[in-house]
Structure formats: structure tokens, C-alpha cells
Amino acid sequence: MIRKSELTMALLAAFFAPMLWGTMVLVMMYSHTPDGRFPMTFDTLPIVEITVLSLFMGTILAIAIDALIRHTVHRRWPLVYEVVAGATPEAGSTQEDSHTALSEWDKKAYAEVEKYQARDDVRREFIANLSHELRTPIFNIQGYIETLMDGVKSSSTRKEYLKKANRNVDRMIRLIQDMEVLTHLESHKLELDVQTYSMASQIDDVTEQFVDRLAANDIQLIRDYNPKDRWHVKGDRERIDQVVVNLLSNAIKYSKPEGGFVRIQLKHVDGMVHFALEDNGIGIDQQNVTRIFERFYRVDKSRNRSKKVGGTGLGLAIAKHIIEAHGQYIKVQSSLHLGSTFSFSLPAGD
């Protein structure tokens, strides 16, 4: 079922995209430039590029306006008013009772204001981070399209620009998909397909995907468990795959230039199978450890936006909610320049 927010954004995008398309066409057909590039006839207009660009710009405008609408509608003051109305002293009460009631109301109202202020801060930070994550691929796509519109004679160069634009589109798609998964997890609407399976086999399948990256980064993979034991657990294998892939990918991203290792440990603890992934990478300082599972949180923004790191910034947030959906918790221990250990447990299978 389509949610109201999704319908609102779709309608806004459908409204803005044609307007942007028409504006760009009119500008190209009726504006005059000294270099003679404009005006252009309708037959010579790059219709495909204009359409793609207008769709992207219309979508971004829709996201921004929808976020603004929701921020305005759900602001904290109506809720604080309910607190005030519900805590007003009753008629006939004594002066002492009135002072006590007002004091309690004051404390409660102040706590409510702080709570909704914190929610507003989180919402603003999330919107700012989402805007930043979308801005880079959109500007990249815009740059490639504008270059193609200027006229590129070489077919190989045109193909290369289109490939780069497509990679940025894929990045936006991954971001949207991750956001959708995270939204379902946070709203408890994602149903888990819990079954008994071999975690040892799962680790083999995941590590096989990273063989080339481990070798390219000179990282030693250590399996600290008995491979003859299949280590059966109860959980949603596909979702736990996402967790293990993210943790191993991060361990590689933040590895040391030389002498790196990743140790995967399994052990039985009180009817549970305990999974731990340890690395000796760059580590995380203590002031950031408590926030690394937040959406888009960056320990080091300049470093994390490098080409080596990449990603959508949602992996650990998704991993946290997947493990919590299994009724467990994901933990982290880390020291700056020494490495990190991420761990969680799952019920042991039969």
C-alpha cells in the first residue's frame, strides 16, 4: 500500500518535472548567447538529457518540500499544548496544591519540550545528511549531462560519460533501497523469515565475495572457530547476510595499509551462537563509538567521502535494526588506531 508521504512526493515530482522540462526547453529555444549555442530548434534539442535532468531535479524538489511539510505539521508545540491543557490545576484546590501542581506541570512541560526539541534536532540533522548524500550523485549526473549537451564528438567519450552518470544513478538507487529497508525496520513492518541454517556456511559464502578485495588490500582472514561444526543458528539468513557483509566490508574499508587482518570468531554461550568480527584497522575514538549506528553518521566526514570508502552511510544503522528485530543487540568495542570488534548473538539451532 502506498503511504501518504510517498503519494505526496510522487504528486509533487509529477508537478515539478514537467515544469522544469518546459522551462529548459523554452530557455534553449528562445535564449540568445554570444557564442551561438542558443537558440536551438526543437529538432536539435537533447530531449533525453533534458527529460532525465528534469526528473531528477523534480524528485529532489519533491523530497525537500515533503520534508518541510512534515516538519511543519509534526512540530512539537501542539503536543506541548496538550501537556499544558492536561496538567492545569483543578478548580477548588488549595494554594499549596496549586503550587505543587504547577511545579509538576512545569517540570513535565519542560521535559516534553526538551524531548520534542531533541526529535526536531534529529529530524533536521537527518534531512541535512540525506540532502548531502543525494547532492553528490545529482551534481555529478548534471555535470555529465551538461557536457554531453555541449556536444561531444567522440563516441567513446560519450559512452564513458553515460557510464559514469549511470554509476551515480545506481548510487542513488542503493541509497533509496537502503532507506526503504531502514524505514521498514524502524517501523517494525519488516517480517523476518526465521529458519535454522549453518552460520559457518553463511560465513564461507560471504567471505568468498570478498576474496579479491581482501587480497588487494593485503588483509589476512582468520577463522577462529571449528569449521567441522556447522554452527547452526535460528534467524533470517538473508537479513543476517546483510549484517555480515556490512561488517566485513567496513573492516576492509578501514583497514591499515599493511599487515591488516580480520578475525571471525564463533562460540557457543548459554544456548546462543556468539559471532564476533575483529580487525586491526584505524579504529574509532570513544566519543564516536556511541553514534556509529546512527543514520548517515560519519566518524570522519572527509575520510569517509573518499572513493575508497563510498557506501550510503546506512549500513550499520540497518545492521543494528536487523539484529534488534531478532531480539538481540549488536555491540562494538573499539580503540583509535588499534582496531574494532563488532559482535552479536543468535539462538543456537537444533
Ranges of the chain with pLDDT below 70? 1-9, 12-13, 31-38, 68-103, 105-106, 109-133, 174, 177-178, 182, 184-190, 296-313
pLDDT value of residue 333: 92
pLDDT value of residue 156: 84
Residue 237 to residue 259: CA distance in whole angstroms: 32
Show the cell assigned to 186: 524502524
CATH hierarchy code of domain 195-347: 3.30.565.10
What is the residue-wise DSSP string for 167-234?
A: HHHHHHHHHHHHHHHHHHHHTT-PPP--EEEEHHHHHHHHHHHTHHHHHHTTEEEEEES-TTS--EEE
What are the residue ranges of CATH 3.30.565.10 in the chain?
195-347
pLDDT value of residue 290: 80
- Is-contact 262 323, C-beta < 8 A? no
pLDDT value of residue 33: 63
Count of H-run helices and E-run strands, the chain:
11, 7
What are the residues whose beta carbons fall under 8 Å from the beta carbon of 35, sequence distance 6 or more? Answer: none
Largest Cα span, the chain? 88
pLDDT value of residue 219: 92
- Which H or E run contains 347? strand 339-347
Residue 142 to residue 176: CA distance in whole angstroms: 19
Whole-Å CA distances, 140 to 2, 46, 256, 317: 30, 18, 30, 26
Output the pTM of the full model. 0.55
Tens of pLDDT, residue by residue over 296-327, are 666 554 444 444 445 556 778 888 888 988 99
pLDDT value of residue 309: 46
